[in-house]
Amino acid sequence: MPQHPLLDTEFSQRFFADILSLYPGSDRRYHCPGISDLHYCQLGVLRCLDTATTGQQFLQHHADQNVADIDPGHFFKALKSPRRLANITSLNDLLAQHMRQRVADPYFTCPDLAGWDLYAVDGHYHHAASFDPKTKDTKGNSRAIATGHFFRLNLRTHHLSCLDMANPEDGKKKAHDITVIKRRSAAQLRYGAAKGRKVLLVWDKACIDYHLWHTLKHTHGIYFLTLEKTNSAAEICSPDQLDRAEPKNAGVISDHYVGTSNGVMLRRIVYTNPEDGVTYTYLTTDFTLPAYQLVLLYKHRWDIEKIFHQLKSKMNERKSWASSLAAKQSHAIFECLAHNLLLLFEERLVREEAIRDEVEEKKQRGRTRSKARKSGTTQNAGNAANTANPDGNALNNLQKFAYGLDPKVSQADVVSYNGNSITPGSPTVMIERTQGAVDYLALYSRCKDFASARLTYTVQFSADLSTWVPSTTQPTVRADNGTLEAVSIAYPLLIDGQQVRFFRVAVDLQ
């Protein structure tokens, strides 16, 4: 079988230069007579960046460009190879070290963080592969379980890596975050951190396990930062530690040590965002960093959500490539490689060609002008405040912005769509009839660039208007006009044994 050549355009040589230089130091290298390790790595990254929606379509396009005519069976066999998986994982790990030298560290001027490795961690799901096995849901419909991965973002370099697959157990649709943490060894959680360095994992509140936190901190130097759950019973056991003389602590309300029922000591920081008046309560196992620094680090956790948005909306990576475990894991690693190589290529363009991301800079200026035009000012105060409601209807300024409405105009319409034409309005109930059944869905509009605008939309369901449960289901895009999307989420059948009857959408600005 002939050995297929590496991609040999000037662009590919520069784009993959870092991979080519690091490959000799990677693990599990092997001279394959069909697709070499390097060509396989290039193919996987390019598939993430290509517009093709299937592997067959991508390989056909690859052949049409006169690069190489790859046997689809050979490529998919390589995709489920544990050795190939180990090799590309090793390459991505080598990129982590490489990016420390190439990418500017935004925390370089923060002496308090000098001894810390900083990571944001969160789960991200793809739709099941075409041939994944299906199980029946509570409504009797046959559905395959979505493929979940837990990704880790280095907040210093923005290097992206995959911590673990979700692998839900006992018939569950999704794996709990704390289960993933327990599966990983301390070495895997530290991810190559040098001895003596502390590792801070900035995670959402699903990571909470106080006893495990205590063990990881005192045995392995691994710390956590998250939001406190509303049902937390931790009790204050110290005077307020807040340094009110430090101007950077503006917005921080209090900083206390708190004790949990199992005897673990934590730190609770309460912060109110001056821009929108929203209050956040953080828990951490660190007692040394300034309060404002921890608040800022949690805010920067949003960077990983922006990457998930880019994977789904920009790269169109919405569906698993194949059914085998190794193939699903390889898919996640290729997404990491694509993200990391794009960052390195962007750094090279700035350094060598003085080319900046003018599109994103233009979008940021546009958002500022839009707020000034709609509210008369860019200041978050008075009638222009995010929580203000100058027209006196049911939505405040932030909600109107999030749904694509004009804050100055009182509107009573609900959202609707026809094809890709969207009429923005308040969220509403959508009814679908399928196979003799009636499905209820929550329908709402959202900004297409919600991630870069730091907007979050959380759909919550209730049976009694008293207990509200946030949905963990990924919204389905019903319409897209280039600026707004109309999206829906199906009602769950029951909450605590009661039929679900109500929903609401919580909008936040991170």
Mean pLDDT check: name the lowest of 58-62, 232-236, 254-258.
Answer: 58-62
pLDDT band for position 290 (cuts 50, 70, 90): very high
Contact 224, 213 (CB under 8 A): yes
Q: What pLDDT does residue 170 have?
A: 53
Q: Is the dihedral of CA 445, 449, 451, 452 positive or negative?
A: negative
What is the residue range of 302's domain?
105-317
Mean residue pLDDT across the chain: 87
CATH code, 500: 2.60.40
Quick one: what percent of the chain has pLDDT higher than 70?
89
Contact 144, 134 (CB under 8 A): yes
| Residue 288 in domain | yes
Contact 458, 464 (CB under 8 A): no
Q: What pLDDT does residue 2 have?
A: 42
Supply the pTM of this predicted model. Answer: 0.75
Domain closes at, from 317, 348, 367: 317
Are 311 and 441 part of one and the same domain?
A: no
| Residue 425 in domain | yes
| Residues 477-495, mean pLDDT to the nearest whole number | 90
Q: Rounded to 5 degrees, what are φ and ψ at 215?
A: -65, -45
Domain closes at, from 317, 340, 359: 317
Are 157 and 304 part of one and the same domain?
A: yes
pLDDT at 67 over 90: no
Extract the tokens encoding 216: 């990881």
| Residue 159 in domain | yes
Mean pLDDT check: name the lowest of 10-24, 100-114, 308-322, 393-407.
Answer: 393-407
358 Cβ neighbours under 8 A, 6+ residues apart: none
Contact 198, 116 (CB under 8 A): yes
| Residue 135 in domain | yes
> How many CB atoms sit inside 10 A of residue 483's CB?
12
| Residue 50 in domain | no
pLDDT at 436 over 80: no
Most confident of 5-9, 200-204, 451-455: 200-204
pLDDT at 1 over 80: no
- The DSSP element (H or E) to which 21 belongs, if any, is helix 17-22
Extract the tokens encoding 138: 């509570």
**For residues 96 and 102, what is the distance between their CA atoms, to the nearest angstrom?**
10
| Residue 70 in domain | no
Are 123 and 258 part of one and the same domain?
A: yes
Most confident of 6-15, 26-35, 303-312: 303-312
Q: How many domains does the chain contain in total?
A: 2
Q: What pLDDT does residue 373 have?
A: 57
pLDDT at 68 over 70: no
Q: What pLDDT does residue 53 have?
A: 85
Residue with tokens 């995959």: 162
| Residue 125 in domain | yes
**For residues 9 and 46, what is the distance between their CA atoms, to the nearest angstrom?**
13
Which has more confidence, 188 or 166? 188
Are 251 and 112 part of one and the same domain?
A: yes
Q: What pLDDT does residue 254 have?
A: 97
| Residue 116 in domain | yes
| Residues 143-156, mean pLDDT to the nearest whole number | 93
Extract the tokens encoding 21: 């230089």
| Residues 263-277, mean pLDDT to the nearest whole number | 90
Are 289 and 426 part of one and the same domain?
A: no
Domain closes at, from 317, 349, 382: 317
